[in-house]
Chains A and B, each alone.
Chain A
Amino acid sequence: MSAPTTTTTSAPSAERATSGPGRRRYPLPRAMFVTIQSVFLAVIGLIVLVPLLVIFVGTFQDGGEIMRTGLRLGVDVSSLRLDNYVMLLTDSGLYFRWFANSVGLTVVQVAGTLLVSSFVAYGFAMYDFKGKTAAFIAVLLLMTVPFEIMMLPLYVMVNDLGLADSYGVIVIPFLAASVTIFFFRQYFTGIPRELLEAGRVDGVTEFGIFFKVVLPISRPALAAMGILNGMVTWNNFLWPLLVLRSAEKFTLPIGLNTLLTPYGNNYDLLIIGSFFSLLPVLVLFLCFQRFFVAGMTAGALKG
């Protein structure tokens, strides 16, 4: 990169800059620039929310009619009704079962992935050992192999072993997740080695140091990765679709997908159920926005 040369040339000019009058020149007068920028951002920001708005409005409409005429704005307000909410609470079939399955699966997957992936990352971050470079290149390579390529052989393997329709098959292959390992390794390399030495002097085992010294001070990384993995698991579709067979075991995305058939008779549930499946993630996002951003940009942190 050209960074070093630029730094040397910029140092003296930066000093000059602070003493000069206008530090930055804008092509437009400030007030005009700010107005245009604000309007631009506000308009785009609102357009982006339209799909969520229309499905929210859709929860008050007749599902069958939506399937025929589409989701839209400008609905006749007098046609809106609360029937779907009553149906959701009283007669929604397996919906809450699917919801509970998704919650349970997400909790187990996130806890497991955080534990296993941070454990692995610690090995990469804190030790030098034979084969480390090769193993770490494998981590990086796995980050770029799309799951879609693995789905067929994994599916065949699961069928051969008679493991279909079990949650274990959904969870276990993704406990040591390459992106999460990569992120934790970055985080751990920033932890001072003196902390580990102190632990060793106190007679703590290598594993004890990880569990008792390092993990407790890694809360920000755990939060970011917990959020990222939680979001991915909650929305996970393809692999559970291939593995799960019985309707009582379905997760929310799989269950909702079964409602979207040409012969479906429960389009009311499809619309309101889709909307309610978004709420847990949205609520978490509003509470922990910072960690969402950290988690999502995790892969790009390193240039």
Chain B
Amino acid sequence: MAQPPGRLASRAPAAGRWKNLLYSQRLAPYFFIAPFVITLLAFWAVPLVRTFVMSTQNVMFGEAAFVGTDNFERLWRDRIFWQAMYNSARYMVLTLVILIPVPLLLAVVINARLGSPRLKNLFKASMFVPALTSVVVAGIIFRLMFAETSTGLVNQVIAWFGADPVRWLRTDIGGLVALLALATWRYTGVNILYFLSGLQSIPDEYYEAASIDGAGKLRQFFSITLPNIKPTMVYVTTISIYGGLAMFLESFMLYSGNSSPNNQGLTVVGYLYRRGIEENDLGYASAVGVVLLVVIMAINLTYLTLTGTFKKEPR
């Protein structure tokens, strides 16, 4: 795979060092990855280090004073922070509960050999459309569909079943339902695509063999489909975990800003935004960021290690 370095460099017209640089297979890769390394350092490493440093400081009006673990101790006793953590965790768990089984079921239905391919393609296209919608526009639409008057769409629909109008965004559970509806609407189609690409990579022979051996459809699903789409599962679960924990904009748009009744829509990132950007308390907000980063990395690493993904990650 690797060409002996510099072999062809000698073939280059000898027009000085500069020209040779362009032909050097030993140096070329470093030029190629340089933009990434610069990006990594300037826009990831430096800000991350800065977050860690600021989390040990009290930053006010540009003056930073070292306060050790003070911010974290305050955070530990901060009731609103824990509420935000609870809201984010609850949202993450519930999106996992909805956005894994539902898209998987739909993908299996589409993937069945029976049925009109044309209808299936139309269905896939239609499910994908929400993913094209920006959070801003989707948030505006859902906010107005979950209006609290009896004339709002969702209240109209539940009225068909005899239910009274609900003041959706004014109540904790109502707001959660609206958020989950928004998430389900936006991400089901994308997850269907992920699962479909996983399902289509399973050879037909596996099912034929199982069928001959007398395994029913349900048995085939659990013994063949599920184990074989494990990589897709790992991927979808991982992005859902950090997407769920880092959720902010959905809530921001649904409540039309970062404040909601009794902070019911406040997430960890929302709290970081409030303390850091709205109140300019950079030290404290950085501590929130550090906690979030640690939690997300811990969950990701645990999950990836448990499922054995790490062993085969680097080529």
| Chain A residues near B (Cβ < 8 Å) | 1-3, 6-7, 9-11, 13-14, 16-17, 20, 23-27, 30, 33-34, 37-38, 40-42, 44-46, 48-52, 54-55, 58, 66-74, 116, 119-120, 122-124, 126-129, 132-133, 135-140, 142, 144-146, 148-157, 173, 175-176, 181, 193, 197, 200-201, 203, 205-208, 210, 231, 234-235, 237-238, 242, 253, 256-257, 260-262, 270-271, 274-275, 277-278, 281-282, 285, 289, 292-293, 296-297, 299-303
Contacts and interface: CB of A to CB of B under 8 A. Distances in A.
Given A27-B216, A73-B153, A260-B256, A274 B141 contact: yes
Contact of B23 (A46, A48, A50, A206): A206
10 contacts: A1-B227, A33-B114, A45-B126, A71-B141, A135-B33, A150-B43, A150-B44, A152-B277, A154-B47, A261-B256
Contacts of A238: 248-249
Contacts of A52: 129, 133, 141
Nearest to A127: B29
Nearest to B204: A14
B1 A193 contact: yes
B147 interface: yes
A66 B144 contact: yes
Given A49-B126, A148-B269, A71 B144 contact: yes
B36 A153 contact: no
Nearest to A276: B137
B50 A156 contact: yes
A231 B132 contact: yes
B14 interface: no
Contacts of B77: none
Q: Most chain-B CB neighbours within 10 Å: which of A66, A70, A303? A: A70
B222 interface: no
Contacts of A17: 205, 208-209, 211-212
B193 interface: yes
A277 B125 CA distance: 19
B74 interface: no
Given A37-B112, A70-B152, A152-B272, A122 B32 contact: yes
Contact of A303 (B30, B130, B231): B231
Contacts of B47: 150, 153-154, 157
Contacts of A256: 136-137, 140
Contacts of B285: 152
Contacts of A135: 33, 36-37
A297 B152 CA distance: 35
Given A119-B35, A203-B13, A206-B28, A296 B131 contact: yes
Given A45-B122, A129-B30, A173-B39, A71 B145 contact: yes
B145 A51 contact: yes
A175 B206 contact: no
Q: Most chain-B CB neighbours within 10 Å: which of A137, A148, A242, A262? A: A148
Given A176-B39, A256-B137, A299-B235, A10 B122 contact: no
A270 B16 CA distance: 62
Contacts of A10: 203, 205-206, 208-209
Contacts of B3: 197
A157 B49 CA distance: 12
Contacts of A139: 36
B214 to A, nearest CB: 9
